[in-house]
Chains A and B, each alone.
Chain A
Amino acid sequence: MIEFQGLHKTFGSNHVLKGVSGVLEAGKVNLILGGSGTGKSVLLKCLVGLLQPDDGAVLYNGRSFHESNVTEKKAIRREIGMLFQGSALFDSKTVEQNVMFPLDMLSNMEKGEKIDRVNFCLERVGLAGKNDLMPSEISGGMQKRVGIARAIVANSKYLFCDEPNSGLDPRTAILIDDLIKEITYEYNITTTVVTHDMNSVLGIGDKILYFQAGEKLWEGTRHEIYDAKVKEFNDFIFANIAMQELKNRN
């Protein structure tokens, strides 16, 4: 479980996070939902420690990330896997080397063990046998899969995904969503997904946190969204569902 409390983040005069708090539940897919520019990515970066919040705390199973010393931080970091918005694969390394990278850096495994583990993960994300391709030689959807394989290869307990299905066609997007959901349950991972995609909400969101203009306006389960009493959130849902209807009709 990850808790965050009173997070503030300001860039110059731009107050992006205005004291947000929330709980991300263990073994579930938690969605951080909100329109463009509401500070979702900034929140995610504060959670994983890529950005230092001005104020507030992030607790990983009770361990405060930003108050930890370097060794403790490293220990927490090593339990974190992240899928970046643009996949962020190392473009000078092959698919296999990309997925093996965390093992090379963090584990003392033998070469053979590492290869077995990499092959297992590649197979899990549906990319068996693609070991020797370069990132530039595979499609965006495949890059996301490699990104997921790299994020879980070192047995991460926490998985963060920044807009995992942006830039993908709707069918591939659903496949990636399903993969994230399956992996979360299979390995009991605490997964956090940033998105503005209503399909994801209905498909994989166990828990939803809705943000607008740097504030959390609503928090609840997927089944509660239609009963939400927050006007902005209702507008967001219905605008998206209406869009979806239109798209489906065409």
Chain B
Amino acid sequence: MRWLGRYILFIGSLFKNREPFRVYVQQILNECVNIGIDSLVIVVIVSTFIGAVTAVQTAYNMVSPFIPNYIIGMLVRDMVVLELAPTITSVVLAGKVGSHIAGSLGTMRITEQIDAIEIMGINSASYLVLPKIIGAIIVFPMLVILAAFLGIYGGFVAGVATNALTQVEYVYGVQYEFVPFNVGFMLIKTVVFAFIIASISSFSGFFTKGGALEVGKASTQAVTSSCIAVLLADYIISQLLLV
């Protein structure tokens, strides 16, 4: 509870006495490039395989001859868009981006680099953390859209390769009863997750005390806390928007 209070105060402090916006533009671009390049490979691999596995398992579970094959395509699409692409990608990114954010801020803290910024009369929290949060909010949705495409494509490849259904059936299934809102739902979730991961990891790194050991602990703590928070938020958003 005290943790939550300090976290909320921290978020508030990001917006007080911040620097003029031009200062942030370059920083935000840098963070976008960092986050994007860093995570591209892992997102591509994870999402393709998850789509493939989903297709194979769905086909395996469909024993009734009365259910048409194209349903596999539809199910893969919905599972990928509603849950797998945004949530699994975010959990993976919590590991990759979250630990990087906490580690770099922790190192800056213990080597007094944050004090060096503070001493110039700059709001160091805002200067360092805001670009990371905004960068994550810009790049996470891009990565998740990519993950959704690749997930559905992975399902296509695996479904067709295992003769569970034909190409035409899969494509028909993917288009069958498509609800555009689901894509909006996916993006809303992703933006919330991006904020959660970037802010919790920053919070964890920014207040590191001690030495290199504590920086490592802050990184681990950042990943654990943001994963839990992402899953909790996932449940809450689903309750609010889908039920």
Contact = CB atoms under 8 A, between A and B. Distances in A.
Interface stretch (A17-25, A32-40, A80-88, A227-235): A80-88
Nearest to A154: B120
Interface in B196-217: none
Given A86-B111, A88-B111, A105-B19, A50 B120 contact: no
A246 interface: no
A102 B120 contact: yes
A45 B107 CA distance: 19
Interface in A82-113: 82, 84-86, 88-91, 101-102, 104-106
A77 B124 CA distance: 13
Contacts of A106: 120-121
B116 A78 contact: no
Interface in A180-213: none
Nearest to B30: A92
A77 B112 contact: no
Given A70-B17, A88-B112, A88-B113, A82 B23 contact: no
Contacts of B119: 48, 50, 77, 80-82
Contacts of B115: 45, 50, 82, 84, 88
A85 B110 CA distance: 11
B37 to A, nearest CB: 15
Nearest to B121: A77
A74 interface: yes
Nearest to A74: B121
A191 to B, nearest CB: 15
B118 A73 contact: no
A88 B120 contact: no
Q: Which of B17, B108, B112, B119 has most chain A Cβ within 10 Å?
A: B119
A227 B186 CA distance: 77
Contact of A86 (B112, B118, B122): B112
Interface string A6-47: 000000000000000000000000000000000000000100
B100 to A, nearest CB: 12
A48 B23 CA distance: 24
A86 B212 CA distance: 14
A164 to B, nearest CB: 14
Interface in B92-130: 107-108, 111-113, 115-116, 118-122
Contacts of B23: 104-105
Contacts of A101: 120
Given A88-B111, A105-B19, A73 B121 contact: yes
Contacts of B122: 105
Given A105-B19, A105-B23, A84 B112 contact: yes
18 contacts: A48-B119, A50-B119, A70-B17, A73-B121, A74-B121, A77-B121, A78-B121, A81-B119, A82-B115, A82-B116, A84-B116, A85-B112, A86-B112, A90-B108, A91-B107, A91-B113, A104-B23, A154-B120
Given A90-B108, A91-B113, A102-B120, 17 more contacts: A45-B115, A50-B119, A74-B121, A77-B119, A78-B120, A82-B116, A82-B119, A84-B112, A84-B115, A84-B116, A88-B111, A88-B116, A89-B113, A90-B116, A91-B107, A105-B120, A154-B120
The 6 closest A-B pairs by CB, nearest first: A77-B121, A88-B112, A74-B121, A88-B116, A84-B112, A82-B119
